[in-house]
Structure 1
């Protein structure tokens, strides 16, 4: 088992999920300035962003397996990033109320000159939300650092009617698929 593994993310949620693999790893957050082509399909965009993050950390960690990840929320063809303030969070959640949106999470594993990337897409449907529900949720502060203005693993779970796809991809790291990809690149064998 090769345990020279690095998570190129400051996300505590991604760190918790990677800990499920029960193998040692280091966290070195990527400080890359994200550059994307807005004309790319969200599936390609998150893969590219994940790769940029992994490449940034891999440059100074040549003999490590580096994992980068990125998540985008898309509603009605529009990308919904992190809210800029409370009013923006309310606006985002009003859009998502009673509707289905897509969450794309891209993952890139880099080792030396090898790059292995993939994307998971999950459809998330919200219950119809009252203004009070939205305001109460925003007042928790949870939406402020989350793409799409909610965290499915926290209070945001109370907004979700159903999902179709990988729950952990919505949290930020599709861990079951990642485990299989790490086996393919030789991090550990099954």
Structure 2
């Protein structure tokens, strides 16, 4: 881990990931064919690991700072996003209804990120010392390393479920990703 990443706090890390998510939404919308599918898979992966890590690390910490109502609202949004993302994944980027459904999904995800950035994160920053926020960034990175790379709405948004079910599901997802990537690179 670089010195810069060790100094980065959890809020800066998550806001940076929100920017990556916004960029991937644009890339999906501007691409076609295999490039669109690849960009969508990148978005799916980032959203899956990002939300899983937030559910394990950030939301439990923010509950004391931002309150139950704010965190419960974010968890509800994340559950709805998992359901929609799973539907979009099954639908595929070439389906006629994909673009319209994707636009609705994009708006919901961007609204969710805005709520986090305006309601949850400022309170967490105000009520946490900088060292705690840096340690949380490390915990988020660790959680992302063992998180599933696809949405699994049936698993719920519980930190305990994510910690217990996440790693075995992540292994399966990563194997599927490797096979998919191999097939794409070998024309199968």
TM bucket by the smaller chain?
Answer: under 0.3
Greater strand content: 1
Greater helix content: 2
